[in-house]
Amino acid sequence: NRADETRRRFLLPLWNVYNFFVSYARIDGWEPSSEGFNADRPEGLAPASSSPLDRWIIGRSNQLSAQVSQFLSDSDSYSATMAVESFIDDLTNWHIRRSRRRFWKSEHDADKQGAYATLYYVLVRLVRTLAPFVPFVSEVMYQNLVCGVQPQAHTSVHHTLWPLSEEGAVDAKLLDEMALARDVASLGLGARNSANLKIRQPLGRALVLAASQVGALSEPVAELVRDEL
């Protein structure tokens, strides 16, 4: 039924992201910085990261805020929820899946710290965005993610300000590149499957014909596609 479909497509992936972050943050003893904490914007400013995956998902997070704000202003709650569902798919099936090794490695280097800071920032923003849609689930997450580590936090997610898009956090070119990378990866895996080539069997090369206006992928993004295929 519709309720079970919502649980499967929306609530379970959301909870899995939350559980993934909390589990590994506890193992590594990671906590967000309390310096300059703002109770109205508990995730803080967008963290600086050299990872294209981090910069992309930060941009997607802020893009989502603008989209949902506009949809709700137009009283279009259905499109707002579809935008959130698309974002959760990006977060789980691309950012986290491509970043797992960054959380798993034993070194507590800048790359691992950046992965934690980025996922915390994105997850807290997402929880605040979801507060009007799933008030009780978002409250449980907020209590642990924010109130559990920030004594100055508002006592409820519903007391925080509505998350607005952070100026300068959206790299439109990178968003377009990563969307193309996801399409290429999906088509490439489909071609592998059609040719009965297992993913563990290396390819000599892969050629992609794209529309001329798309442009070439930057090397870090192209490397993600190579690793995926």
The string of pLDDT tens digits covering residues 45-92 is 999 998 999 999 999 999 999 999 999 999 999 999 999 999 999 999
What average pLDDT does this structure show over 148-167? Answer: 94
What is the percentage of the chain residues whose pLDDT exceeds 90?
A: 74
What's the whole-number mean pLDDT along residues 101-105?
92
pLDDT at residue 212 greater than cutoff 70:
no
pLDDT above 80 (res 170): yes
- The answer, yes or no, to whether residue 207 has pLDDT greater than 90, is no
Contacts for 50 with CB less than 8 Å, ≥ 6 apart: 111, 114
**Residue percentage of the chain with pLDDT more than 70:** 98
Query: Average of pLDDT values for 173-179?
Result: 92
Place of tokens 């989209």: 67
Q: What is the pLDDT of residue 206?
A: 81
Half-sphere exposure of 180 (CA within 13 A, CB side): 19
Q: Rounded to whole angstroms, how far apart are CA atoms 103 and 21?
A: 9
How confident is the model at residue 208, as a pLDDT? Answer: 82
Residues 6+ apart with CB under 8 A from 90: 57, 60, 182
Q: Average pLDDT, stretch 98-126?
A: 93
How many C-beta atoms surround the C-beta of residue 154 within 10 A?
A: 16
Residue 15 confidence (pLDDT): 95
DSSP state letter for 143: I
pLDDT of residue 211 exceeding 80: no
Q: Using CA atoms, how far apart are residues 157 and 32, in angstroms rounded to an integer? A: 17
Nearest Cα to Cα of residue 58 among 138, 218, 165: 165
Give the confidence band of 16 by pLDDT, cuts at 50, 70, 90.
very high
90-118 average pLDDT score: 93
88-92, 138-142, 144-148, 193-197: least confidently modelled range = 193-197
Amino acid at 10: F
